[in-house]
Amino acid sequence: MPEHSTQEMIRKARMDDVRHIHRLLQHYADKKLLLGRSISSLYDHLRDFVVFEQNGSGLSGVCSLHICWEDLAEIRSLAVVEATHGKGVGRRLVEHCLDEAAGLGISRVFTLTYQPQFFRKLGFNDIDKRELPHKIWSDCLNCTMFPDCDEEALLYETRN
């Protein structure tokens, strides 16, 4: 279902997107801007992902909404092709995930990021990482930055 025009859309990721998603995420993981994901992990969590397609030119962005707990989810793996930076693709992907969270009855969504200003503009607020449940740290154990992570934690709370 199109979200902006007939030539741009956000849709659920499909099996044939996995290698494209992997390449895009790996591009930013190599720059230490996000946590890389293995091909196997992408297949395991494919249902969490949405992609942005633009003008029939393939994927321009990706984002995932990972449910952590009863009333908590995480925005992860947000990546946008560099040529489309500043064109609203990332914002639209995050807003799509926030709408999905609200539709599931999840009122708190957090992110761990090196781009806190981007998320603050979308209504996320800074929080102390220690406020997040221990359950969310399982992926951190596989990160090359662990235990010296300098990502910032931000939280979005829906207004009920």
Query: pLDDT tens for residues 43-101?
Result: 999 999 999 998 767 899 999 999 988 899 999 999 999 988 999 999 999 999 999 99
DSSP 21-72: HHHHHHHHHHTTSS----HHHHHHTGGGEEEEEETTS-EEEEEEEEEEETTE
What is the arithmetic mean of pLDDT over 28-38?
89
- Give the position of tokens 């199109």: 2
Give me the torsion for CA of 149, 151, 66, 76, rounded to 10°. Answer: -120
Buried b (16+ CB within 10 A) or exposed e, 80-96: bbeeeeeeebbebbbbb
What is the arithmetic mean of pLDDT over 102-123?
94
From 52-56, 92-96, 104-108, 117-121, the region with the lowest mean pLDDT: 52-56
Q: How much is the pLDDT for 2? A: 44
* Domains of the chain, CATH where assigned: 2-157 (3.40.630.30)
Q: How much is the pLDDT for 139? A: 58
Q: What pTM value is reported for the model?
A: 0.87
